[in-house]
Structure 1
Amino acid sequence: MSPTLWLRDGRALAALAVPLALTQLAQVALTTTDTVMLGLLGTEELAAGGLALVVFNQCRTMGVGLVTAVGNQVAAADARAERGDGDGADIRDLVRGAMALSTLAGVAGALVMIGIGRALGWLGQDPEVVDAARTMLTALAPGLVPCLWFQAIRQFTVGMRRPRALLRITLASIAVNAGLNWALIHGAWGLPELGAPGIGVATSLVYLLSFAALYVSARRDEALAPLLDLRVWRADRATLRRLTGAGVPIAATYGSEAGFFSVVALMVGAFGTTALAAHTAVNQLVYIVFQIAVGLSHAASIGVSRELALGDRGAARRVARAALACALAVMAVVGIGYAAFPEPVLSPFFEGDVPSIAVSLLLVAAVLQFFDCAQNIGVGLLRGLDDAGGGFRVTLVGYWAIGLPAAWLLAHAAALETTGIWLGLLTGLAATALLLLRRFHRRTAVPGPGAAATEAA
């Protein structure tokens, strides 16, 4: 590919990927702040809070998946309106449907979180950690509904190509979250002293405030305000079914990955509180870097959809290559930082000395994060092909049939314990990335003899 095409494709990808990735990074700073403050309270609090955040992220991630397709559908409806084939009514109905779907998913997810909190004691975790995690889950559960409301409006603004307010609001929420965390932990500013559960209460409040801020911002936008209709009771049933049909395989894919990480956390917990605390800290670092992959994945997904709509499969492949090249460059820089300065990177998560197991996990993460990024981009590429179901099936194989058995064998049969679990995690993510990209490559091949058979595979 010529340098001119590389530059053009890179600029097109960056135009959407950079603001989305920055927003994702700002958003994950919320949970990072929570994790750091839990670490300051002690190892037990960090382990319990980390366990609760894993469960919360599982439910949140699947809920986000349900409304992720809204952005693509809004963009398509907006394009039709620009051509004169529509008047915005479709977009208003999509917004109503997205809000209805996010409300249902938020309520269901909150109930699931509380139920899981009651079941944690059966999963071999430390009883004191379980009690603290259960309380934290109860505090986090109410925040899931406004969190998904925020995501529904976010997809609307992204589909309309007006996501700039997202970054400002998310950055402001970091400061608000840190202040509320401190106040509710220690009982400052007239607020009750709740200790570690105060972090969960603060997070729920911040999600509600963030949704309100995004709604107000959209109402002040002349292009968005006429289309922003939150009357969920007027949502068209056919639209709701269409959004659910598009969102379920995406939610299942996200849930497959998040569930894989949740089971891994439970496996690590069996090796003790220190191992779980180390896992929580390193996993949070991986999660931070993962937000770059999310931005690249969304941008690549939209790029592939646009190029295929124009009938240019070669351009769709170039979008994929540009996204993967960006991922490799970023992950290489971060990985070098992990290897060169492991203790400074990890020290914010621990009150005293950094455990040696955390350093070992960080070195595994330096390699793992590229495959984690690549598989997320692969999911986005298949979503751009309207093949979310195929992506879900691939993740079932990569995570559960390959990664989880590898993690168990390396931890127990090879006696590598927590490090072995993470090597199994790396194996599952690498297998998933390769399978997803192979499927994308096959489905974007230039048509020729036997193409119909390939498309049916």
Structure 2
Amino acid sequence: MTSLDEIRRAPVATAASGHHLAIELTETLKLAVPIALTQLGQIAMMTTDLALIGRLGDEAVAAAALASSVFFITFTFGMGLVSAVAPLAAQAFGARNPRMVRRSLRVGLWAALLISLPLMALPLYGEQILLTLGQAPATARRAQEYLLGLAWGIAPALWFLAIRGFMGAVNRPEPGLWITLAAIPANAVLVYLLIHGEWGLPRLELFGAGLATTMINFGMFLAGLWFAHGRRPFKKYHVLGRIWRIDWLLMRQLVVIGAPISISFLLEYGLFAAAALLMGLISTTALAAHQIALQVTAILFMVPFGIGIAATVRVGHAVGRGDAPAVKRAGLVATTLGIVLVSSLTLAVILARFAIARFFLGEGMESGGVVIELTATLLMVGATFFVADGIQTVAAGALRGMNDTRIPLLFAAISYWLIGFSAAYGLAFWTGLGAVGVWIGLSCGTALYALLLVLRFRRLAGHLERARMVAVN
């Protein structure tokens, strides 16, 4: 039987719970917005590069596209590893352990350097790789020019990513956004000058474009390091203290957390690459429509990606404090926020799908109308994919805040390849759905992955809550 005191306390508890949720939402947004804008800034730089390279002709664009694929696969592996800096530093911040915060960044910088050295081999031998994959010799040769400029930028790009993880973990992600915003016009000017040889500089064309990107990456890293070392509130962490020492014990922990993230990223991006190959088997029209729909996906992805990193930090803070209810609350708020924002953006894409297709293709060519129609259809079919992709990104981020990355890797393998690819292939070629079938398969695999990640987070958060109750009793 409920006592009078319990009845009186119930509204107070509800109000307190609502207050905590409001605070959590505010803190998540403070982290997510600058991170998402920073990622959109990165896309803006890539788009600028492509637009400037386009002035060199169609063959240069094709070479740059191939080179970017080789480079992106390489960088993705390092990116997953270095992204483990964020949960390690966030947990240390929540536990009020500034020394561990510093160690987390330091080991991330060392990991970025050590992993970048072997990773550079792939772009430096890009021409041979592309020839092995059956690409035209002339295009492969020009792609190698671009890669020779890009390869040296892997280490500074990863260093900057580690610094951004540290900044987000201590609730100050804004400098990463400021640096990226400053880099966008600087990148455009430098790429233009080195491509065309203006202002007395040599005309380097594709090599110049890659070299300019590398120089900008070094500049962004140095700017980030300046903030992290010499500006408040980062200065108190003394991030360069004993920087010459490699912390092998923490390095092992970073690899244990980060390596599954890297492989998960490769599984996901590998699925998209495989989907593009399937589209190529269907028709050129299908491939063109698929690439446009994927570009829209990449832009939409930046919003849940920012929320996912914020979820990593907020969950990591709660884990560091040993606050089980806050762990659950952080995951709930981040996931709900992701669903709301991605659903809103998806609705906007559905309503504007024909306008989006025309923006990329125009209407001058007769065949363009067919591609526009198919692109609009894929964007409509992809609505469920966009939402599911947003949920999985946020849920994966929340799990990383708990250092849980190995089971999600297993989920990725099952969802993306056993279910997603099989469904995409079967629906495309066995049922006659073609390009639409590929996107339905992508949606099925991604939806399953999102569901498994959400259930995994709820299970782990529930374990923490029960452990806390046992400890209290």
TM-score tier after normalising by the smaller chain length: 0.7 to 0.9
1:14 aligned to 2:14? Answer: no
Task: Map residues 51-70 of structure 1 onto 2, 5 A cutoff.
Answer: 51-70=66-85
Asked if structure 1 preserves the Cα contact closer than 8 Å seen for 2:325 and 2:465, the reply is no
SS in structure 1 opposite 2:198?
A: coil
Shift of 1:79: 4.4
Shift of 1:8: 3.0
Shift of 1:352: 7.1
| Structure-2 residue corresponding to 1:396 | 413
Cα 1:364/1:112, change in 2 over 3 Å: farther
CA deviation vs aligned residue, 1:174-199 (integer Å, no higher than 9, x gap) = 11222233333433333344445543
1:160 aligned to 2:170? Answer: yes
Structure 1: which amino acid aligns with 2:26?
Answer: R
Which is worse superposed, 167-176 or 7-16?
7-16
| Structure-2 residue corresponding to 1:172 | 182
Cα 1:346/1:34, change in 2 over 3 Å: farther
Shift of 1:155: 1.7
Structure 2: which amino acid aligns with 1:295?
Answer: G
**Equivalent in 255, 259, 270 of residue 248 of structure 1:** 259
| Structure-1 residue corresponding to 2:239 | 228
1:32 aligned to 2:47? Answer: yes
- Distance in 1 separating the partners of 2:56 and 2:361: 9
Task: State the percentage of identical aligned residues.
Answer: 34
1:407 aligned to 2:417? Answer: no
| Structure-2 residue corresponding to 1:454 | none
CA deviation vs aligned residue, 1:231-268 (integer Å, no higher than 9, x gap) = 65422222222222222122222222223223333444
Task: Map residues 34-53 of structure 1 onto 2, 5 A cutoff.
Answer: 34-37=49-52, 45-53=60-68
Which one has a bigger Cα radius of gyration?
A: 2
Which is worse superposed, 432-441 or 36-45?
36-45
CA deviation vs aligned residue, 1:128-172 (integer Å, no higher than 9, x gap) = 654544443333222211111111222222223222211110011
**Equivalent in 123, 129, 150 of residue 119 of structure 1:** 129
Structure 2: which amino acid aligns with 1:326?
Answer: L
**Runs of 5+ consecutive residues of structure 1 not aligned to the other structure:** 452-457
| Structure-2 residue corresponding to 1:148 | 158
SS in structure 2 opposite 1:444?
A: helix
Shift of 1:374: 0.9
CA deviation vs aligned residue, 1:13-61 (integer Å, no higher than 9, x gap) = 2122222222222222222333444566666554543343233222222
- Distance in 2 separating the partners of 1:282 and 1:186: 32
Cα 1:360/1:443, change in 2 over 3 Å: same
1:282 aligned to 2:293? Answer: yes
- Distance in 1 separating the partners of 2:141 and 2:407: 39
Cα 1:323/1:92, change in 2 over 3 Å: closer
SS in structure 2 opposite 1:329?
A: helix
Asked if structure 1 preserves the Cα contact closer than 8 Å seen for 2:86 and 2:166, the reply is yes
Shift of 1:108: 2.0
RMSD over aligned Cα atoms: 3.2
Task: Map residues 431-446 of structure 1 onto 2, 5 A cutoff.
Answer: 431-445=448-462
Cα 1:230/1:427, change in 2 over 3 Å: farther
Asked if structure 2 preserves the Cα contact closer than 8 Å seen for 1:327 and 1:373, the reply is yes
| Structure-2 residue corresponding to 1:323 | 334
Cα 1:28/1:78, change in 2 over 3 Å: same
**Equivalent in 258, 282, 298 of residue 309 of structure 2:** 298
Cα 1:131/1:200, change in 2 over 3 Å: same
- Distance in 2 separating the partners of 1:276 and 1:283: 10
| Structure-1 residue corresponding to 2:88 | 73
1:184 aligned to 2:198? Answer: no
- Distance in 1 separating the partners of 2:137 and 2:379: 27
| Structure-1 residue corresponding to 2:116 | 106
SS in structure 1 opposite 2:462?
A: coil
Structure 1: which amino acid aligns with 2:45?
Answer: L
SS in structure 2 opposite 1:234?
A: coil
Cα 1:105/1:301, change in 2 over 3 Å: same
1:215 aligned to 2:225? Answer: yes
Asked if structure 2 preserves the Cα contact closer than 8 Å seen for 1:378 and 1:440, the reply is yes
- Distance in 1 separating the partners of 2:403 and 2:37: 26
Task: Map residues 339-358 of structure 1 onto 2, 5 A cutoff.
Answer: 339-346=350-357, 349-350=360-361, 353=364, 355-356=371-372, 357-358=374-375
Asked if structure 2 preserves the Cα contact closer than 8 Å seen for 1:46 and 1:277, the reply is no
Asked if structure 2 preserves the Cα contact closer than 8 Å seen for 1:39 and 1:349, the reply is no
Cα 1:124/1:33, change in 2 over 3 Å: same
Asked if structure 1 preserves the Cα contact closer than 8 Å seen for 2:324 and 2:465, the reply is no
Asked if structure 1 preserves the Cα contact closer than 8 Å seen for 2:315 and 2:401, the reply is yes
- Distance in 1 separating the partners of 2:140 and 2:424: 23
Asked if structure 2 preserves the Cα contact closer than 8 Å seen for 1:334 and 1:366, the reply is no
- Distance in 1 separating the partners of 2:439 and 2:127: 25
**Runs of 5+ consecutive residues of structure 2 not aligned to the other structure:** 1-13, 468-473
Across the two proteins, how many residue pairs are aligned to each other? Answer: 445
Asked if structure 1 preserves the Cα contact closer than 8 Å seen for 2:153 and 2:213, the reply is yes
- Distance in 1 separating the partners of 2:397 and 2:80: 12
| Structure-1 residue corresponding to 2:471 | none
- Distance in 2 separating the partners of 1:157 and 1:20: 10
Which is worse superposed, 165-174 or 378-387?
378-387
| Structure-2 residue corresponding to 1:420 | 437
Shift of 1:337: 2.8
Structure 2: which amino acid aligns with 1:144?
Answer: I
Normalized against structure 1, the TM-score is what?
0.85
Cα 1:251/1:224, change in 2 over 3 Å: same
Shift of 1:392: 0.9
Asked if structure 2 preserves the Cα contact closer than 8 Å seen for 1:271 and 1:418, the reply is yes
